[in-house]
């Protein structure tokens, strides 16, 4: 009996230093994880939303009777391992999203170049263009009034919206573009840029629509029409017969807005994916 008590005391004196040595290592790992979590949060949640990784606590396996109890250090180590795995998963997701956005940027640049080339080819030679001295600016359609509330951005957007409703697309495009360019910090900038893209689509200009709608998503990712802009961008790319690109846009919609978009918009995206023959 005395030998057994002596052995237990010796084991206790050995285990205590080992646990003490493990704690600094765990503290260092936890500190590193906290830094990585903040870095991932800045990538995945640029608006500062709190990051709440879904960490599942390790299952507790009952020890047989008479067996040693689970060490607190071992339990903490298992949880730290789970958090590190979650950080790696979030980091990979952020990198994948960044790569997809980079691909979209390259595709839109190519669309811009194609649209400019077609416009240059369709333009008549300068010598054949008649003088513009007698030209009079086009009048808005009858019944379309410009509001005057004292908020020029709001007034400009409502005016552009009314022109679009009246199918006066060139006039609507000019009014909406002015709002987005002149008042980028106003909440209506996202509305105006999105509707500009839709006006181009309705005017039979899908290449220009794609550029405008991508700009809406890129410049105002948290704007009230950002999610809708990705849907219409997918429609424009489908009209241009760029089906794989349209499918990438719809996938980006799911990544960015799948959890927050209205059910009606998600249904439209699902229909768009079917139209583009997305897998």
Q: Which long-range contacts (CB under 8 A, 24 or more apart) does 68-74 make?
A: 71/19, 72/19, 73/19, 73/22, 73/23, 73/26
Contact 139, 163 (CB under 8 A): no
**CA 252, CA 97: separation in Å to the nearest integer?**
8
- pLDDT score of 31: 72
pLDDT, tens digit, for every residue of 132-168? Answer: 433 334 566 778 999 999 999 999 999 999 999 999 9
Cα atoms found within 13 Å of the Cα of residue 172, Cβ hemisphere only: 26
pLDDT, tens digit, for every residue of 175-214? Answer: 999 999 999 999 999 999 999 999 999 999 999 999 999 9
Cα-trace Rg, the chain: 30
- pLDDT score of 77: 73
Predicted TM-score (pTM) of the model is: 0.58
The 8-class DSSP code of residue 277 comes to: T
**CA 158, CA 144: separation in Å to the nearest integer?**
10
């Amino acid at each position: 009996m005395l030998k057994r008590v002596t052995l237990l005391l010796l084991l206790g004196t050995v285990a205590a230093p080992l646990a003490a040595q493990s704690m600094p290592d765990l503290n260092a790992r936890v500190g590193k994880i906290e830094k990585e979590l903040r870095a991932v949060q800045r990538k995945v949640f640029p608006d500062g939303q709190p990051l709440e990784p879904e960490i599942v606590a390790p299952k507790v396996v009952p020890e047989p009777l008479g067996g040693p109890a689970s060490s607190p250090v071992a339990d903490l180590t298992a949880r730290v391992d789970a958090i590190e795995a979650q950080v790696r998963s979030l980091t990979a997701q952020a990198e994948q999203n960044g790569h997809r956005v980079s691909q979209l940027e390259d595709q839109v640049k190519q669309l811009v170049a194609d649209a400019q080339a077609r416009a240059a080819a369709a333009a008549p030679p300068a010598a054949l263009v008649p003088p513009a001295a007698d030209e009079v600016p086009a009048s808005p359609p009858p019944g379309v009034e410009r509001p005057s509330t004292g908020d020029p951005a709001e007034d400009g957007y409502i005016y552009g919206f009314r022109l679009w409703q009246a199918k006066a697309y060139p006039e609507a495009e000019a009014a909406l573009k002015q709002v987005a360019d002149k008042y980028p910090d106003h909440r209506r900038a996202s509305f105006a840029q999105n509707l500009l893209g839709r006006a181009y689509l309705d005017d039979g200009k899908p290449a220009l629509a794609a550029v405008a709608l991508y700009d809406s998503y890129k410049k105002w990712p948290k704007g009230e029409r950002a999610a809708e802009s990705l849907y219409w961008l997918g429609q424009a790319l489908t009209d241009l017969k760029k089906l794989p690109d349209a499918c990438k846009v719809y996938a980006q919609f799911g990544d960015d807005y799948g959890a927050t978009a209205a059910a009606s918009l998600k249904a439209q995206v699902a229909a768009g994916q079917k139209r583009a023959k997305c897998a």
